[in-house]
Every structure is written in C-alpha cells, then in structure tokens.
Amino acid sequence: MSDESADTHDPPLFEAAADDAGDGELSPGLPRLPTGVEGLDHILMGGLVKGRTTMALGTSGSGKTLLSSQILWNAVQRGEPAVLVTFEEQAMDLIRNVQTLGWDLGAAAKTGILQLVDASPDPHTLTPTGAYDLSGIILQVQAAVKERGAKLVVLDSLGGLFTQFDDHGALRREIVRLRDTLRDLDCTTLMTAERLREMGAVSQHGVEDFVADCVLILRQTLANERIRRTVQVYKLRGDRHRHGEYPFIIAAGGETAQPDGMHNGIVVMPLSAARLSQESISQRLPFGNEAFDEMAGGGLFQDSVVLVSGPTGSGKTLLCSTFTAHGCENGERSLYLSYEESRPQLGRNATNWGYDFTRWEADGLLKIRSEYPENRGLEGHLYEIRRQIELFRPTRIVIDSISALERVSTARTFREFLIGLSSHLKRERICALLTATSPHTVGPGGQVGAHISTLTDAIVLLRYLEQEHEIGRGLAIIKMRGSQHDKRVRQFFIDDSGFHIGESVDDVANLIGSIPA
C-alpha cells in the first residue's frame, strides 16, 4: 500500500450521479446508502441499495475485507450505527489490521455506534459436521441490530462458514434465512465471499451470487509485470449501474495521511467516465518568454493542457523550467512532477539558467516530486497527481515526461489515464505543460503523440534541423485551441541564459513530417 490522502474533503474525482447515457441526470431508481469509497458510488450510481444485500466477491488478497471495513468505517464516521459480523477472521484481528489505515473500529465499538459479533471458529474446537443451522448467530445479529438501531450490517466472510461445516446444502438455506432476517429488519447488508479464480465461475459454492441483489467482483490480474486491481458491478437487481471493469488502488500513508483515515483505503478510478463538463476561461498566463507569448497570441490560457514534443536534448525540460520559474517569480505556485530526472539534478540545471528552485521551494512557491514511473501503476500515478494538486493548489503544473509514464501501461490504460488527467487539470483550472519524447530526431512522433494530441489544447513541437554545416533547432506551435497563433517554424536557440526564439526557418520538411497524428 503506497499512495497518499489529502488535507481537505474536496469533491470526488468523478461525479457519482450521472447515468450511462451521460446526460448528467440523477438515477430515479432505488434509494442508496453511500459507501464513501471514492469512485465506487459513481459506478454504483449512488451507493449500495438500501435495505438489500450486496455481495463482494474476489480471490484471496483482492481487497474484499478492506472494502467492507472501509464502507463500515465511513458509515460510523457519518454517525450511522452498524454491525460487524466476522465468520473467518477474529474481530479483534480485523480491527488491528485496519487501524494502520486510521480506521479505529475498536473505538467505534467502545462508543456503541458499532456492534461486533464474533462468529469466527475457535481453533481449539473440532470442526462441526452433519446438520447445522445459524439460529444462534441470527439471534445475535438480530439483537445487535435492534439494540443499536443499525441500518448497515457487514458479514465477513461467508467462506469461513463453508470451511467449518460439511452440510453445505443446509448452510446455503441458513444463509438465505440470515439474508431474509436482515431484509425484514430493513438493513442494508454487505457480505464478502471467496472466489477460486479471477475468471470463470462467479462464486465458489454456487450460492453466494444468487443470495445477493447486487454483486461486486474484485479482481487482481498481472499486466506488464504489475498487479492491476479492478472492480466490476456484476449485477444489480431492479436498478441501473455502470458496466465494465474499473481499476482501483489501495491508498495509505505518506505525507498526506489523515488521522481520521479519510481518503485511505480503496480508491476506484473510473478513468474513461470523466465528463466533458468543465467550463473554460479566457484568462491568459504568460509563459516566461516574450517571443513565445507572441507566437501563442498573448500567452497560454489558464486552463489549457499543453504538449511539448521533441527528441532527447531538444530543450523540453528547459521550456518546463522557464514556465515554472516565471510562475514562481510572479508569486504563483508551481508543481513540477519529474519521472526522468531527480530533484537535485533539476535544481542544478535550473541554477545554470539563473532559476533558484531551492529558494522558491523554501518560500512555498515550488514543489518538486521525482520518482520512477515503475514505482506504481498509472491509476496510482493519477491518484498521486490529484493528491499533490489538492495539497499544494498550484496555478501551474509540469509533468516531465508523459512518455516515461507510457512505459508502465497498456495502450488502452494509457489513453484512459490521459483522459482522467486532462479532465482533472481542466476542472481545477491549472495550466499544464506535458512533455513527450519522440523516438527520432526527425520523423514520426511516436505513440504518445497519437494518444494525447486530440486531448491537448496546444502542441509545441521541437526538432533538430540540418542547417548548412551544423545542426540547429526549430520550434513550432502546431495547434492552439481558441486562439490565433504564429504558424511559422521559428529558430530555437539555447545558451547559458535560457532559450531564445529567432526568425522563421525556410526549409522545414523534416519537422513538419513529425507532427503527432
């Protein structure tokens, strides 16, 4: 568990009420109990159906107990009484495990808002055989619900019952009886159960999914030598839900951890469900170079996402440093996320061009985060970017480079990441500079350009040019939404004081041929 949480309880990354048609209307269906799990309420279109049973199914380690504990914790944090019944893990062991996330279920039990029913097996008792019923447990749960006035009951996990008792036929009937008892008490019930494989039969014992009105399937698959976790709403009786698999991460700890455990745990990332509903603004932001601002028609729009594409050594990081420095010089906060260079290396290079990154960091105007892309999946990187934005509230952000992030994903995941990233940046009205490295000094711009070119508001192209007996550089703005811009290819020079833009270049066939598709 690696990612981080935030200082403030701001709106979730994805709106939770829009229907599948994307018209933004609230679902007119069954009343819901919010889970409080970021992104999950979005795909459930409001939360768990009140008064009904939801089953969370998954293989060992897929996150079932974590999810149920998180929903339970969020409910008691809202002041809603709840009951936790453990069939497999002893209640105190579960409480200790989730306490590392800031979820103090033990304290909630002491205050009375949470009632514990420990039905886990006694290791010193022989496994029962023959006929068996759950009458004793049903009576305990019934009494706890009535005593606390609970409306949420969590049962973790049904697999513990099937390992204890031989008569599975009778046990299935008893589970149905337990479900019906809780339904009569108007309780929203969340059960967990094991699957043997990620694909194939939905449930292990052929009853768990039929018992429930709603089934969630949690999966963990290996992709590009990394574990990718997803959740799917397999079924939801009587109402709509969002279809397909949605990636999720497990977030915990780090500099943004909260004592109350908010933002820790499972975070569902419905990347492709991001909506094109952001408002645009016409305010311009100076780049930090007069000639560039002139080419861009007066600067970049405050909410624009700009791609800087070029081969290694063409000046992409220098453009990013100049853009960052100009913001700091004008009292604007800048967030610099580097996936190819370390923080000391960035600071040293900036010093060579007269930019004091160290001072701006000390003044709280600049925040630099450097890490290898391989440290986490793209869902984790998007979550980290979002949390850093929450914490720092920048006006400008640099992501250097997008090409490095592409290495840790599939083509589809990468495009969904870009959709989620650009959507969030626009909603926060942050001017963003994203760099992409082309694989050749001239020629096609690579897959990054093909994925992101349609999602960006502006594209700045850097290329090497053959000029008589030496290699020069060229710069062109080949796209800028909502504004006129200089469409000429201009000379691009780098010296000890930074970069300079010169006159137009006549023969630019190689550069134009490398525009991203």
pLDDT of 403 over the 60 cut: yes
Please name the residue ranges forming H helices in 14-99.
40-44, 64-77, 91-99
What are the Cα distances from residue 472, in Å, to 242, 320, 446, 466?
52, 20, 22, 6
d(CA 510, CA 325): 31
Partners of residue 464 on adjacent β-strands: 473
**pLDDT for 516 beyond 90:** no
Q: What is the pLDDT of residue 319?
A: 95
Confidence label for 228 from pLDDT (cuts 50, 70 and 90): confident
Please state the pTM of the whole predicted model: 0.79
Per-residue model confidence (pLDDT) at position 514: 44
Lowest mean pLDDT among 112-121, 215-224, 257-266: 257-266
Say yes or no to pLDDT of 421 above 70: yes
The pLDDT score that the predictor gives to residue 184 is 94
Query: What's the whole-number mean pLDDT along residues 364-377?
Result: 92
pLDDT in tens, 358-369: 999 999 999 999
Q: What is the pLDDT of residues 324-338, one digit of tens each?
A: 999 999 999 999 999
Look at 378 and 276; give whichever has higher pLDDT.
378
**Position 357 confidence tier, pLDDT thresholds 50, 70, 90:** very high
Give the residue-averaged pLDDT of 431-450: 66
Count other C-beta atoms under 10 Å from residue 138's C-beta: 16
From 194, 188, 162, select the one nearest 175 (Cα to Cα): 162
pLDDT given at position 446: 47
Which tens digits make up the pLDDT trace of 108-117? 999 999 999 9
pLDDT at res. 391? 92
pLDDT at 226: 75
- Residues forming a β-bridge with 472: 465
| Range in 22-31, 264-273, 307-316, 464-473 with the lowest mean pLDDT | 22-31
pLDDT of residue 447: 47
Residue 432 has pLDDT above 60, yes or no: yes
Q: Biggest alpha carbon distance in the chain?
A: 92
Highest mean pLDDT among 10-14, 75-79, 85-89, 471-475: 75-79
Mean pLDDT of 496-508: 83
Strand boundaries in 144-283, DSSP class E: 152-156, 188-194, 214-223, 226-236, 245-251, 265-268
Close Cβ partners of 103 (under 8 Å, ≥ 6 residues apart): 69, 70, 73, 261, 264, 265
pLDDT band at residue 454, thresholds of 50, 70 and 90? confident
pLDDT value at 17 more than 60: no
CA atoms within 13 A on the CB side of 194: 13
The position carrying tokens 């949470």 is 114
The rounded percent of the chain whose pLDDT value lies above 70 is: 80
Residue 512 in this model has a pLDDT that exceeds 70: no
Per the model's pLDDT, the better-predicted residue between 505 and 458 turns out to be 458
Per-residue pLDDT averaged across 262-272, rounded? 77
Residue 169: per-residue pLDDT? 74
Q: Which of 8-22, 134-148, 177-191, 434-448 has the lowest mean pLDDT?
A: 8-22
Three-state secondary-structure class, residue 493: strand
> Contact, 234 vs 249, CB < 8 A?
no
Q: For 284-512, CATH number?
A: 3.40.50.300
pLDDT at residue 70 above 60?
A: yes
CATH superfamily of 39-268: P-loop containing nucleotide triphosphate hydrolases (3.40.50.300)
| Mean pLDDT (whole number) for 42-50 | 93
**Residue range 119-134: mean pLDDT, rounded:** 63
Q: What is the dihedral of CA 376, 379, 385, 391, to 10 degrees?
A: -100
Mean pLDDT of 91-106: 91
What would the mean pLDDT of 172-191 be, rounded to a whole number? 91
Task: Categorize the per-residue pLDDT at 278 as very low, low, confident or very high, splitting at 50, 70 and 90.
Answer: low
Tell whether the model's pLDDT for residue 497 goes beyond 80.
yes
Give CATH 3.40.50.300 domain extents, the chain: 39-268, 284-512
> Sorting pLDDT into bands at 50, 70 and 90, what band is 277?
low
